[in-house]
Amino acid sequence: MQLRDYQQNLDFQINKSWQSVRNVLAVAPTGSGKTVVMAKKINDHVGASVAIAHRSELVSQISIALARFGVYHKIIAPDAMIREIVAYHVGELGRSYYNASATCAVASINTLLARKDKLKNWCDSVTLWVTDEAHHLLESNQWGKGCALFPNAKGLGFTATPLRADGAGLGSHADGVFGDLIETVTMRELIDQGFLTEYRIFAPPSTLDMDGVNTTATGDYSKTQTKKRIERSSILGDVVDHYLKIAPFKLGITFAIDVEEAEKIALRFNNCGVPAKVVNAKTPLAERNKILKQFKRREILQLVNVDLFGEGFDLPALEVVSFARPTMSYSLYVQQFGRVLRLLEGKLYGIIIDHVGNVDRHGLPDKKQFWTLDRREKARRNKHDPDLIPLKTCSKCSGKFEAYYLTCPYCGAENKPTERSTVKQVDGDLKELDPSVLAIMRGEIAKIDEDVKLPWGASGNIQVGIINKHNAKREVINKLRETIRYYGGSHLAKGLTMSQSQKLFYYRFNIDVMTAQTLPPKAAKKLTEEIEHFLNSEVTA
């Protein structure tokens, strides 16, 4: 396999990082080909190695990736699974790359832990372990305990989102095992470079109410309570009805809360003339592969699944994803969203139909992220995020888009505010304000440029002090104005209108451009620094 440029760079950065730390976490978006890089690292390694599947149903996927590299390997899994995988090798590649005596292995985490005593000598000989979906890996959980079976090995984890819903940190200084985090291209860069497709999001009206639903120790919604809420909602019918309305007879997958709900949704699809199958972790490998081939040939148009296609699973390219299962996990959300971004001949964009508010809950998946191996501070949840732009739903077509758009980018419908007497009502778009309100704001700004009014009878020293204070404030405000103009100019250069630029300013800095120019000097100076920091990060991104 020929690596792309960004994959080669990731490969280089991993080797460089290993020179200073033992365990490395590599971050790359869904659809970027992490499994290919994983297979190459194992292929290049001199000595015994193991690729650990974080879920048993993914053993076959890692095994076939190694087989495509021509890497002979043993499989640490139940015998029935090994037989299925060998048949899979032969069916896909014309031969089997399974070798029970190989030093390289693919292991199911559950089987690895169950056989740890029998495998001790081999475990001691392993000098490299690799795992995908490494955001699961904490020192104290089963994945961490599995990696700890290899005391003489360096480690490599891959993930699209090094973030956990429970806030635990993946660094060895926190709750995990990794000493360094390496980032490669972003999802947006892969879209812009043509390696992934653009997307459109639709959020039809929903009766699902998640208020008061408990979260579990992992940080996600309670499945039992979520299921009850889904059953009381109209989602079961909405999934099929809106699929037929928005993306009729396109290749799609639907994420359901459990097998029972998945069966109901698939039955409704079939009754409406859309061939559908339920696939989950218990679906035998041979049957799963048969269904995926039928899906690729468009003999099946809808795969309704429970968790299986959420993480790690390599799916054929598809055209639409329907969310019928709400999640608090940003990692799971991004993984599910990313399934629709793979290239497919004739596909202009992937379609997301969100029935459960996941997009509102987490924002767009290609927004700028700053990853860390540290624990997430709970206090930061309420902190204003300059990169989190609010989303709007078009009242005409249900399209979901960032709120700075003045018209729906999908159908062209205008989304004008009904009230225009405050900045909040127009989201910082001063063009939309009532003229009388705008005049008052301009008057407040003008006071900065006017000569200061001196109190009658004030001494010369007092007058000088007042003038100096006013001039100092004017200097700070002028610096802020200059920075705001530069910010606006950078947006105009990207093709945005002045109204769009003002809205983005309001969302990012929590203040509109006019009110900003009336701030006290200390606050104005702080805002200037925030804008400059944002502009610098845009240049270096």
Q: Is the pLDDT of residue 374 over 60?
A: yes
Average confidence (pLDDT) over 329-340: 90
The distance of Cα 111 from the centroid of its chain, to the nearest Å, equals 30
Residue 258: left if φ>0, alpha if ψ -120 to 50, beta else—which one?
beta
Q: What is the DSSP letter of 425?
A: G
Q: Is the pLDDT of residue 127 over 80?
A: yes
CA distance 445 to 375: 43
pLDDT band at 539 (very low <50, low <70, confident <90, very high): low
Strand partners, 277: 303
Residue pair 17/182 in contact (Cβ under 8 Å)? The answer is yes
- The CA-atom distances, in angstroms, between 183 and each of 13, 344, 461, 540 are 9, 26, 58, 14
Q: Looking at this protein, which amino acid is placed at residue 391? A: L
Domains (range + CATH), the chain = 5-186 (3.40.50.300), 190-378+385-402 (3.40.50.300), 424-540 (no CATH)
Task: Give the model confidence (pLDDT) of 198-250 as tens digits.
Answer: 999 999 988 899 999 998 887 889 999 999 999 999 998 899 999 999 999 99
Amino acid 421: pLDDT: 87
Nearest to 515 by CA among 405, 433, 392, 404: 433
Average confidence (pLDDT) over 25-37: 91
Q: Is the pLDDT of residue 35 over 60?
A: yes
CA distance 485 to 162: 36
399-405 long-range contacts, CB within 8 A, separation 24+:
399/200, 399/201, 399/202, 399/203, 400/201, 400/202, 400/203, 400/352, 400/354, 400/359, 401/201, 402/364, 403/427, 403/503, 403/507, 404/496, 404/500, 404/503, 404/504, 404/507, 405/500
Q: Is the pLDDT of residue 380 over 60?
A: no
Q: Which of 169-178, 198-207, 451-460 has the lowest mean pLDDT?
A: 451-460
pLDDT band at 272 (very low <50, low <70, confident <90, very high): very high
pLDDT band at 387 (very low <50, low <70, confident <90, very high): low
Q: Which of 56-60, 218-222, 337-341, 522-526 has the lowest mean pLDDT?
A: 56-60
CA distance 337 to 362: 11
Both tokens of residue 403?
A: 């709120």
- The CA-atom distances, in angstroms, between 500 and each of 405, 495, 531 are 6, 10, 17
State what percent of residues in the chain have pLDDT above 90.
60
pLDDT band at 310 (very low <50, low <70, confident <90, very high): low
Nearest to 86 by CA among 59, 126, 109, 116: 59
CA distance 43 to 49: 9
Q: Is the pLDDT of residue 379 over 50?
A: no
Amino acid 444: pLDDT: 87
Task: Give the model confidence (pLDDT) of 188-197 as tens digits.
Answer: 999 999 999 9
Nearest to 114 by CA among 149, 138, 90, 163: 149
As a whole number, the mean pLDDT across the chain is: 89
Q: Is the pLDDT of residue 458 over 80?
A: no
